[in-house]
Amino acid sequence: MNIDNIFDEIKENIKPLSIIVLINILIAITYALTSPEMYTAKTYILPPENKYVQALNLSASDVGNTKYDYTVREVYPLFINNIQSRKYQRKFFFENNINDQFDNENIEESFEKNFHDQIDLRLQSKVSQIRMRSQDFLTVSYRSNDPSKAANILNDYIKMVFIDTAGELARAVNITITKRIKSYEASIEAKKDLAKKIKIDNIARLKEALIIANKLNITEIMLLPDSTIVNTEDELTVNDNTRKLYLFGTKALSAEITSLEARLSDDPFTKGLRRLQQKIGTLKKIKVNENDVRPATIDQSAIPPSVRSEPKRKLIVLLGTAFGFLLAFFYLVIKLFIIRKA
């Protein structure tokens, strides 16, 4: 079969072929005109400025040996993940009664259809979500049949995620501070308890030494000149080779016992106590305010779109026409095949 024969067949079947193409064009036009109009609002977001992340950072001296050094690379991905999170989407949709704006009695179905499926995120730089570069430019879009509704819902959602993410970061640091304070307070109580027990033990040792000194009738110090009583955190000892407390004599031992029993507080004699108290005082002055934290920079909030994003009527009609010609071609091929078989 040559080209002339093909053209002859087209001429003979021009009517059914035309009907096939026209039907498809009419279907495409009908679909394009009857499909609900959708408008897409967009918000443009950049990583946060470094100064708005520094509020989260604590030095190692503030919280023990651990340094909390948040960076833009850590904070910004958290914000992006929260936008995509169904947890935050559901919170926004249900707590703000967003379903009241849609004609759908099934709330779960409405959430999926009218909100979750209409949110879209696009990162312009080609990077993975695991390692975000500081120049990542994020576009968040939301589709609705009403341009004002599309912009308002998107702006409200971004605002909620922005505030919640800042609060999440601030709470994490504040919880760390609170835990460290409690840890220091527990250490202080342990030191105080130990100091009290050591004092009781030292008084017992001194009293025993006093009894021995009285029996031996030792009233004055009989130790070598370089010997002294050492009151350590662990025990009371004599700093010489003999290590015999009774050699200090009854006068010195009685004075030491009287002094220890009259002591109202062991704090000045407890090693490391003041340093811990200083750390607690410093930490109690530190409180991260979520208003000082910005997990992202809103480059441009959503505005009501003036042009619909769907349906793309010209494209629908063009595709419908192309599909019509394709069906007409298949119709012709099948007919020719049947004729040749006959």
Q: Domain boundaries in the chain?
A: 1-35+314-335, 39-196+266-310
Phi, psi at residue 175, to the nearest 5°? -65, -40
Distance CA 292, CA 269 (A): 42
Q: d(Cα 292, Cα 170) in Å, to the nearest integer? A: 9
Question: pLDDT tens-digit profile of 108-143?
Answer: 998 998 889 888 888 765 444 444 444 578 999 999
The predicted pLDDT at position 130 comes to 45
Q: Which pTM was predicted?
A: 0.69
Nearest Cα to Cα of residue 266 among 200, 197, 192: 192
**Gap between the Cα atoms of 21 and 29, Å rounded:** 12
Tokens linked to 125? 């730089």
CB atoms within 10 A of CB 179: 11
What pLDDT, on a 0 to 100 scale, did the predictor assign at position 42? Answer: 93
Class of the CATH domain delimited by 39-196+266-310: alpha beta
Taking the chain (342 residues) in runs of 10, the rounded mean pLDDT of each run is 65 83 87 81 92 76 59 89 93 89 84 88 59 68 90 94 94 89 94 93 91 91 59 50 74 93 91 91 88 92 87 84 87 77 62
pLDDT at 229: 55
